[in-house]
Each structure stands twice: as structure tokens, then as C-alpha cells.
Amino acid sequence: MCGIIGISSNKPVSANIVNSLKKLEYRGYDSAGIATLSNGKINEVKSEGRVDNLENNYDIKHLEGNIGIGHVRWATHGIPNSVNAHPHSSHNVSVVHNGIIENSTILKKHLINKGYKFKSQTDTEVIVHLITDYLKTSELVEAITKTLKQLHGSFALGIVFKDMPDLIVGARRGSPLAVGYGPNENYLGSDSYALKSMTNKITYLDDGEFCILKKDQVLFFNDEGKKVNKKILQLSSDESSYDKGDFKHFMAKEIEEQSITIKTGIKEYIDNFNKEINIFNFPWKLEDIKSITLIGCGTAYHSCMMAKYWFEELTSLDVSIDIASEFRYRKNRFKKDTLYIFVSQSGETADTYAALDLCNKNNMKTCSVVNVIESSIARDSNFVLPIHCGPEIGVASTKAFLGQILILYIFALKIGSLRNEVQNKLYQEKIKDLKTLPSLIEKTLLLDNDIQAISSTFNEAKGSMFLGRGYSYPIALEGALKLKELSYIHAEGYPAGEMKHGPLALIEEGMPVVVLAPKDSYYKKTISNMQEVIARGAKVLLITNKTNDDVISENIWETIEVENTNNDLLPFLLTIPLQKLAYYSALKKGYDIDKPRNLAKSVTVE
Ligand code: F6R
């Protein structure tokens, strides 16, 4: 997704802006640009492709100016090229923009009628001309307030002005934006990660607010242009997580880190001494919660699916799940006794945030399971369950998925115990098993060579399928998502029992099919479904767990056995070979593993 950086300093800023843009690269983007102010002019440079292109095409280090804005763009309006790259500038105003201006077509017509000329196909350029126009008759705060009122949609903006060479304006509605404070300089950033390399003192703008940022002062305003006071927060520093170390890719590092993710999550939530799950300050009485709705997008939605199985197994609560982009536009029947749980790694996903906002506006009970605790979703939920897995840089979510399902499992187990639906003996056994999970993950991570070899077959195939039942069904969907997003191979996840209702028609000679069949209560049923696909020529990769029982089937192409544990925890282990399969298949194809095409880490537009 797009990223914004702005710096006002007492020294040249271009090199620092480039470094900060590089920190934002992990979000996925297709062009980049910078504008600085010096000697009464706007110096604008932009390039298609990576920030490296910008550096190769221009002598950035010698771009003059102690004030400037930079942007990485992920195209929404207009193809990714250097003309559509940000900043967009008039003779006086230069703008970088994250988000989408929904009424840009109407505004553009109006501005063209007034004589303004447009150079790009973007929605952003209307902002440039609107501000330029309002500045003819209004002073700065009024011109910004009037411009923002004209814009529909979501945005974060960074704006500089040729005639006001000591300030940057930042504005936020929907898309995140933060201010950072440094010695003799201040910063604007769409992501605390980009700011963290320069400062750990941050203020987040709230929706509707804007700021005027100078090197030694920052003023904040509400949507009416009235000054507001804001708190400065101190961020935790976690720099080592932003380094690949000896790994080729962040994704490889993040897969290998999963035993630590789970160990940390367990340490945070389980009191070893009292053998108890600690969830402090839960703001509601349990008897006031009769049902649960879990909401997320993509991999986070798969975590919601996984949690539904556990909540239904461990409690008698009614549980429903929803994809955030569907939930936000449906005619929902909001119920006071429902707990709405929002799952998100970034905490900034536009659809998930909008679904949360809708629940908040209807005075519902809202809880979030997030990784980035400074994020909008975390800040605006009534209650937060952090997943504590550290920064996840690879676009494909791996350790955050295991982190999310861990916290959701722990939460389900705790509620089941508090409602006396999980008896104390069983509760204790499950906590004991949970504590063995990090070492089981470590062992499962060693399944490397087998998967590397198997991945070639997937790369040669036209398409593939991932099948599972019960607890293994959400993991099958997650495995298919990982393979398609990283290696661009068509991959479908299905409940194994659905095959006869249509998808079986797709099976042909040699098609690779992953069957997740741990030896749980669904095992025999899944094995029957597996036989049906083998009979039609599929090459089956069976993923099961190590037990003393042999697999009761023939003609399986390959078998991978993960470690054994109780049924609740097997989904954690089954996920690992699927992540590795996607990783190695993309590696063999030579694709950009940490930044797959067309995708972004933090999806801040709907
Ligand atoms: C897939 C993936 C995405 C995200 C989705 C939600 O590997 O990473 O499907 O899970 O975009 O993102 P968050 O969790 O940040 O809300």
C-alpha cells in the first residue's frame, strides 16, 4: 500500500526521506517520489518501480531543501508510471496521498471548468488544485479545512507549499498518519515503522484531524480548523526484528520464528505458577455475552474460521464469522449480548477498521486481536488482546497467523473454563499441552528437505487443491492462499466433504492435491475423500500427524508427518508445511517472496 513520509529539519532532508521510504517498501508499491522545497521552488522527482530506481534516476543526495515529502504508491487510480507517481504539484502546492478520493471525478470537472490543468490520471491531483484554489482567498488553516470538507473517501495527506517553506501539513481521514518528534526536526509518517528509525516519540492523528508541522513545533487541528491538544506516546523499540539476519527473505525468518512467537504468546497469557490463563481487565461480565462474531480479512479471516471451531468446541456460545468487506455493508442485526472480535495483524486494514467503527457506532462490545498495538484497530476497540509476535515484514502473513490463532485458542479456553463448560481437569491438561507447543513447532520446522523436493511438482501443475475437514478446513484454505499469493499457482481450498458437490470435476491426471488428514475424529472420512481424488488421477500429498497407527490408504504420492499433540493444537503444526510449500515453490520460480505482485502488507484502502 501507499506510504507517506515528511521531514522538516534544520539540515537537508532528501537522503533521510529516501531511507524512510525504503523502510516502507515492505508494504508493497509500484512507484516512488519526493518533493523538497529550496530557493523558492518545489523540487519534484519521481520514478516508476522501486525506490532504487528513484536513486538511480536522480542525484537524490544533492536534492536541496530542509523540508520535504516522500511517497511510495500502490496504484488505485491510473496505471503505475512516473506521471501518476506522487507527489503531485501545482506551481505552489505539492501533495502526497494515501487512500482514495471517491468524488474525484466530480471535483475534477469542477476544477477543469475553473481552468485547472491535470497532468495525471490520479484522484490525488484534485487535492492539489483544490488547495491551490482555496489559498487564493483563504489563509492556510481555512484553506485546508475547506479542502478536506470537499473530499469524500479515505485519505492521509502530506502537503508542502512553495510560499510557506517552513511547514508541512498532514491530514488524516480513514488512513493512518502519525507525527514523530526529533532533535531540531519533526516528521510525518503513515506508518510508525518508518518513523521508528528516527524517533520513538509519536502522536497519532485521529480521524478528521490535520496538523501543521515545523522543525520545532507541531500544531494539531480538528475538522473545523480548531486547535486540539494531543498526547505524545513513547514507542517500544524492536529494531532487530527489521533485519533479515542470515535468512534470504523475511518470510523465511518469520516462518522459523514461529516457535518463539508461540513461546512469547504463552508467556504473556499463561501464569505458570497458578496454571491459569491470565486475561486481565476484561471489561464485561461473562453472563452478558451470549454470542461471538469474529471478523477479519484474508489470513486473519482464516484465524476467525479456526476460532469458530474452538469456541464451539469449548463453549456453548453461538459463534459466527464474517469477512470484513462483507460485514461492513450488510444489514447487520446488532445485538447487545454479542462480543465482536476483530482480527488483524496490522490493525490498519481498511475493511476491518470500518467494520469495527460500525460496531462502535452501534455501541457494541468490541475486542481486537492485533499485532501492532499502536494501530487504529487496537486504539479504537474496547478491549485488546495483543498477539506479541513482533513486526511481520513479509507480505504473506505467517507468524502473525499462528500468533492470532494462539490467542484466540487461549481466549476460547479461558471463556470455556469461566463458563464451567471446560472442567478444571481438562482445562489443566489443555494448558499443559499448550506449553509443549513451542518445542513441537521447532521439530515440525525441521521438515524442510522433503517439502523443498515436493514443491517442484506444484510449480509444474496448472492448479492445485487443498482439502481438510473440521479443524483442518481453515488450515486448508490458508495453505491455498499462501501458495497462490506467493507462487501465483491456482490453488483452491475446500472442505474435503464438498468435493462431490462440484470441485471433483477439476481433478485430472497428475494434479497435486494436498490432503490434511490428522488422526482426529474426521480422519476416516477425510481418507475416503482422499481416495476419491486419487482414483481420478490426483497426486496426493497427505499431511498427517505422527502416531503408532499406519495410514490406511494406498497410492498416496507423498506423506508428511507433523509431530503429535492433542486435536486442538494440530492446526498449528499442520500450517507449517503449507507455509514452507508456498515459500519453496515461489523461491524456485524466482519470485519476489517478501513482496508478491499486486499485494501489500497493510491494506489501507477498501
Ligand atoms: C495473506 C495476508 C493477507 C492479510 C489480510 C489482512 O498472507 O497476509 O490476507 O491477512 O490482508 O491483513 P491484517 O491481518 O493486517 O488485517
Compute, in angstroms, the gap from residue 365 CA to the centroid of ligand 1: 23
Please determine, for residue 194, whether its predicted confidence score (pLDDT) is greater than 80: no
Q: Supply the pTM of this predicted model.
A: 0.77
pLDDT at 551: 67
| Closest ligand 1 atom to Cα of 301 | 10
Q: Mind listing the pLDDT tens digit for each residue in 446-489? A: 998 889 989 999 998 989 999 999 999 999 999 999 999 999 99
Q: Mind listing the pLDDT tens digit for each residue in 316-373? A: 999 999 999 999 999 989 999 999 999 999 999 999 999 999 999 999 999 999 998 8
Q: Mind listing the pLDDT tens digit for each residue in 376-422? A: 899 899 999 999 898 898 999 999 999 999 999 999 999 999 999 99
pLDDT at 326: 96
CB distance 61 to 39 below 8 Å: no
Q: Is 136 a catalytic residue?
A: no
pLDDT at 238: 60
* Selected catalytic residue, list 196, 482, 580, 601: 601
In sequence order, what E strands does 13-76 have?
31-38, 41-48, 67-73
Torsion sign across C-alpha atoms 147, 149, 153, 158: positive
Compute, in angstroms, the gap from residue 137 CA to the centroid of ligand 1: 45
pLDDT at 74: 83
pLDDT at 596: 87
Q: Mind listing the pLDDT tens digit for each residue in 218-270? A: 999 999 999 999 988 877 656 556 678 889 999 999 999 999 999 999 988 99
pLDDT band at 444 (very low <50, low <70, confident <90, very high): very high
Locate CATH 3.60.20.10 in the chain.
3-237
| SS3 label, residue 171 | strand
C-alpha cell at 407: 490467542
C-alpha cell at 411: 481466549
Which residues pair with residue 217 across a beta bridge? 214
pLDDT band at 164 (very low <50, low <70, confident <90, very high): very high
pLDDT at 323: 97
Residue 530 is given by DSSP the state H
Q: Is 211 a catalytic residue?
A: no
Round to the nearest angstrom and report the end-to-end CA distance of the chain.
11
Compute, in angstroms, the gap from residue 562 CA to the centroid of ligand 1: 25
From 76-90, 243-257, 337-351, 564-578, the region with the lowest mean pLDDT: 76-90
Mean pLDDT of the chain: 92
Test site for ligand 1: of 1, 306, 341, 345, most ligand atoms within 8 A of the Cβ? 345
DSSP states along 333-381: ---TTEEEEEEESSS--HHHHHHHHHHHHTT-EEEEEES-TTSHHHHHS
**Residues 6 or more apart in contact with residue 51 via CB below 8 angstroms:** 18, 21, 22, 25, 32, 72
Q: Is 303 in the pocket of ligand 1 (CB under 6 A)?
A: no
Fold held by 3-237: Glutamine Phosphoribosylpyrophosphate, subunit 1, domain 1 (3.60.20)
d(CA 189, CA 206): 14
pLDDT at 26: 66
pLDDT at 443: 95
C-alpha cell at 246: 542470515
pLDDT at 604: 73
Residue of 172, 232, 167, 237 whose CA lies nearest to 198: 237
Which residues pair with residue 38 across a beta bridge? 41
CB distance 458 to 489 below 8 Å: yes
Locate CATH 3.40.50.10490 in the chain.
248-443, 448-589
| Domain 248-443 grouped into CATH 3.40.50.10490 | yes
Which residues pair with residue 342 across a beta bridge? 295, 368
| In the block, residue with C-alpha cell 497467523 | 401
- Looking at residue 331, its amino acid is K
Q: Mind listing the pLDDT tens digit for each residue in 9-49? A: 999 999 999 988 887 776 667 889 999 999 999 999 998 88
pLDDT band at 184 (very low <50, low <70, confident <90, very high): very high
pLDDT band at 591 (very low <50, low <70, confident <90, very high): very high
| Domain 448-589 grouped into CATH 2.40.50.140 | no
Torsion sign across C-alpha atoms 32, 38, 42, 45: negative
Residue of 298, 382, 280 whose CA lies nearest to 346: 298
Cα 599 to Cα 415, 489, 594: the distances in Å are 36, 15, 10
C-alpha cell at 268: 504473556
d(CA 355, CA 406): 23
pLDDT at 241: 64
Q: Is 345 in the pocket of ligand 1 (CB under 6 A)?
A: yes
